[in-house]
Structure 1
């Protein structure tokens, strides 16, 4: 019985009872076959763990082509082992780096993001909400972020005060909507108002969350080189990213 076909059917769980017995006998009696079997099994596991279906399919196609061309008759067996081992090592490194980076950017954002406090119209206990502007900031303080966004957008349309862009972006970040937050923060940067430096910090965080590491690092380097808002935090975050 074709040995490669046995391995292939084992990996895809299609062995008959008779084929399973033949495989077991080979594993016990042939050390070279057993080594090849273990390598291909490990590679198959890595491909599944990484979750790259296209890579997995390419490997399946490679296996099928290998069977058709009787690869073992024309190439030394050690070459097959080397190829499989390199694939295992390479894919393992890729998987670890990819998943670590993906996880760490989300974690770093979560560790550093706090919606900026309301310093425009702080709401005092017992104070009446007697204007649309106060209503907007009251919603923000109560963490009713979607309602705050709607109110801030209305007030920005009415007054063109740029701080509404800043606070609307903060509300979007609190809701996990980084794309809208980035659009608003980039727009806010053009005004260079009293919230300009704070806006740069939140824009760097938004880029980080959105996996745009180059833009995030560029901004953080500029912030850390200044004496402005959160310049020390920017240095710490840069070290964590690198």
Structure 2
């Protein structure tokens, strides 16, 4: 089998037993083949690396260890340059993505549904009222059911915290446009959770890529030292 075919099957982890024997023999006796295998192994390691510092170090190692030799054919030298360029471009793209996260990425990195502090759930009770069912749905991730039950409960009882938890469930369902008016309404109340709504409203605006309103709310959180003030300061610094 040709060297390039063996190398391709090696990279795909598809060598047969006999091909593996042939591959290992080449690796032991053919210096040029060994260097090309090492090069492709480095490419694979760099592509899978998650951390920017490690990427830079590995790229540096690659450049030091795999400088093309003068005896190599021009075709092979060009192939190495193309591959090295691909690595560099991929790395730069990764770095730029980290330094300029999108609004969606910032939302995802900062949003967690607020915990149930209103109605602690006692497990094992067979008979459950609607409020218990609503918060069980919320805690277990059945957000569609939670939204429906919180809506019904708010219509009956007019408790402001139902607006807050319904909005959280909607955010989890990626329905920020529906969550925003609920959070605004909740902010007008004197509910014990109303201060938290400022943070979640800022995140909701981020979700719909409205950075202007998100920024105003985050600045208010920082200035007033409200809930999540330190997180708001860090978040604000990432999209200014």
Instruction: Give the TM-score band, short-chain normalised.
Output: 0.5 to 0.7
**CA–CA distance in structure 1, aligned partners of residues 197 and 127 of structure 2:** 27
**CA–CA distance in structure 2, aligned partners of residues 218 and 227 of structure 1:** 14
Quote how far apart the aligned CAs of 1:190 are. 1.1
Equivalent in the alignment of 1:234:
232
Equivalent in the alignment of 2:162:
164
**CA–CA distance in structure 1, aligned partners of residues 205 and 220 of structure 2:** 14
**CA–CA distance in structure 2, aligned partners of residues 197 and 122 of structure 1:** 21
CA contact (8 A) 1:129 1:135 kept: no
Equivalent in the alignment of 1:113:
111
Match status 1:122 vs 2:120: yes
CA contact (8 A) 1:123 1:138 kept: yes
Quote how far apart the aligned CAs of 1:193 are. 1.3
**CA–CA distance in structure 1, aligned partners of residues 127 and 181 of structure 2:** 30
Quote how far apart the aligned CAs of 1:129 are. 4.7
Aligned residue runs from structure 1 range 120-199, under 5 A: 120-199=118-197
CA contact (8 A) 1:204 1:216 kept: yes
SS at match of 1:116: coil
> Any stretches of 5+ residues in structure 2 without a counterpart?
1-92
**CA–CA distance in structure 2, aligned partners of residues 210 and 129 of structure 1:** 40
Deviations 1:75-97 (A, max 9, x none): xxxxxxxxxxxxxxxxxxxxx9x
**CA–CA distance in structure 2, aligned partners of residues 151 and 178 of structure 1:** 18
Deviations 1:92-126 (A, max 9, x none): xxxx9xx97xx611100000000111111121332
**CA–CA distance in structure 1, aligned partners of residues 106 and 232 of structure 2:** 12
State the number of aligned residues: 144
Quote how far apart the aligned CAs of 1:166 are. 0.3
CA contact (8 A) 1:137 1:148 kept: yes
**CA–CA distance in structure 1, aligned partners of residues 234 and 190 of structure 2:** 25
Match status 1:213 vs 2:208: no
**CA–CA distance in structure 2, aligned partners of residues 148 and 179 of structure 1:** 17
Deviations 1:142-178 (A, max 9, x none): 1100100000000000000000000000000000001
**CA–CA distance in structure 1, aligned partners of residues 219 and 225 of structure 2:** 12
Quote how far apart the aligned CAs of 1:186 are. 1.0
**CA–CA distance in structure 1, aligned partners of residues 141 and 126 of structure 2:** 18
> Any stretches of 5+ residues in structure 1 without a counterpart?
1-95
Quote how far apart the aligned CAs of 1:229 are. 0.8
SS at match of 2:115: coil
Q: Could you state the TM-score of these two structures normalised by the residue count of structure 1?
A: 0.57
